Amino acid sequence: MVAAAYFGAAKLSLLVAIPPGYATAVWPPSGIAVAALLLGGRRLWPAVLAGSFFANLTIDGAVLASAVIAAGSSIQALAMAALVRRHVGVPYHFENIDQVVKFVLVAALGSTIAATLALPALYFLYRMPPSELLGNWSTWWQGDACGVLIFMPLILSWSEKIRWQPRRLAEVAAFAVLLLGATQIVFHGSGARTFLVVPFIVWAAFRFGQRGMTTAVAAVCAMALWYTLALKRGPFAAEPMHESLLLLLLFVSTLVFTGLVLCAVLRQLERAIGELESRVSQRTAELEEAKLAAERANEAKSQFLANMSHELRTPLNSLLILARLLADNSGGNLTEKQIKFAQTIQASGLDLLSLINDLLDLAKIESGAVTVLNVAPAAFSELRDDLERMFRQVAQERGLQFSISLDPALPPSLRTDAARLKQVLKNLLANAFKFTAQGAVTLRIAPEGAARVAFAVSDTGIGIPPDKQQLIFEAFQQADGTTSRKYGGTGLGLSISRELTRLLGGELRLASRAGEGSTFTLVLPLADQRATVSS
């Protein structure tokens, strides 16, 4: 098969041979031979020898000259195939620019072998004048170089499995028609129009890869040879013929080199994108795994806190009951000092119980245990009265003014979980009283927009520095985090309030200046239609 392909391609090429007929501007058999040895191995060299021998024998029947030329063609194919395999590999597709450069160098240098070995046969057997030998050698070298540059990548590209994409058939047809039209324009005119072919090579490289690009270059080369040698027209049909063919060689070689470099760059880009996508996928999987691990650890922590808080409340309640009984001194057998000790135990126990309750609330919220909201109408007047009863005594003990105002524009009630709303407002009011030494604490309830209500808790206390205003919403954090801080507390109240606010579908804002007081504003929807909230 290789011998037949070599013979057929040679006979077609010799139709446009340069007189006296031993060389042609493009010699496809040289590319066929190198591609065959790369694909099938060195064992195919006798087929190259046979194809070359019979092709040359049909020219004038000179057996010895045909044998010498065939031997040179076989040696050249073996040498070039070995060099390409060693320095490039089998380039079904060129993977980088280095491979393209090495291939071009091998094609340019290796193509000198057959032309050089044929010179003695042309001189001694055909009595070719020395003045014609150099021109014939140059044409021979050009033909072999062009044949390898064009047809070896073409054959290797088409040797791989073809995956037809029907959706691109229309684009292929349009490309072929436009390329044919462009070549007609180029080779009917002057050399200034040859640039019209370049965009089509770029198009083929981007859309059809090395296979499409090499096919396009082969078609352009065939058109160029037809117009130049058969019709004597076009930008390369000029005298002397050897100089014209050199320009044709440069034109075709430039197209091939440009196309192969572009294909190699695109292959590198595709590999880089593939590697990047692989790394991104791997990193995403690692992050997902880390996220799941962190969520499991956080859930385990929250569950542990919930369990421990629950277990601690049982013995603590017993201690509180006993401390209260001792402080009541119903038997009248305790001294005043012992009663104070019992009262201290009870007060400390209540503080500890408050801390445990806060921990339990936070753990339930973080673990997702708090998901069901008892959404129902809650009257603003009842909410005001409840908070008034809770904090009026605190205000009197601390000598602070305390007021709760309802905006007349408010509706009678809102739909929300009243218990959770009261818990948030109690935390905000308790903090306001804790950090206010003199002045006032106020709660203003007013509409915000058309469908929301704002609960603004203001105080004239110590205020919060700007750099602490985000920190205080984290668990166990306070604006004053030093060991010698003046104000006690665990720092859980605002964290719990923030999480409960999210559950209620609202937001919690802070406006504060150090030394001038703070305003915490809870904004909720007036009509929450949810029955439950997913954690």
* Nearest-angstrom CA–CA distance, 183 and 235: 11
Per the CB < 8 A criterion, the answer to whether 445 and 406 are in contact is yes
Give burial (CB, 10 Å; 0-12/13-18/19+) of 190. exposed
Q: Rounded CA gap, 376 and 354, in Å?
A: 27
Which residues, 6 or more positions from 82, have their beta carbon under 8 angstroms from its beta carbon?
Answer: 42
Q: Evaluate whether 342 touches 278 at the Cβ level (below 8 Å).
A: no
Which residues, 6 or more positions from 477, have their beta carbon under 8 angstroms from its beta carbon?
471, 491, 495
pLDDT along the chain (535 residues), means of 10: 86 67 74 91 90 82 82 92 91 88 91 86 69 76 88 88 75 88 78 78 87 88 79 72 71 86 89 90 90 81 70 78 83 83 82 71 62 81 91 90 93 90 90 91 91 93 83 57 45 78 88 88 82 43
pLDDT in tens, 62-109: 788 888 888 989 999 999 999 999 998 888 888 888 989 999 999 989
Please tell me the predicted confidence (pLDDT) of residue 106: 92
pLDDT at 33: 92
Report the pLDDT value the prediction gives residue 533, as an integer from 0 to 100.
Answer: 44
Q: What is the pLDDT of residue 440?
A: 93
Distance CA 25, CA 147 (A): 9
Whether 530 contacts 520, CB under 8 Å:
no
Residue type, 291: K
H helices within 407-454, ranges in order?
418-434
Cis before residue 20, ω within 30 degrees of 0?
A: yes
Q: Which residues of 31-58 are buried (b: 16+ CB within 10 A; e: fewer)?
A: bbbbbbbbeeeeebbebbbbbbbbbbbe
Question: Please, which residues bridge with residue 459 across strands?
Answer: 441
Q: Which pLDDT value is given to residue 495?
A: 80
Which residues have C-beta within 8 Å of that of residue 294, sequence separation ≥ 6? none
- pLDDT score for 362: 65
By the 8 A CB rule, do 380 and 406 touch? yes
CA 214/CA 159 separation, integer angstroms: 13
Please, are residues 256 and 82 in contact by the beta-carbon 8 Å criterion?
Answer: no
Question: Phi and psi for 452 in degrees, rounded to 5?
Answer: -135, 160
Produce one character per residue of 59-94: b if its CB has 16 or more CB atoms within 10 Å, e if not.
beeeeebbbbbbbbbbbbbbbbbbbbbeebeebbbb
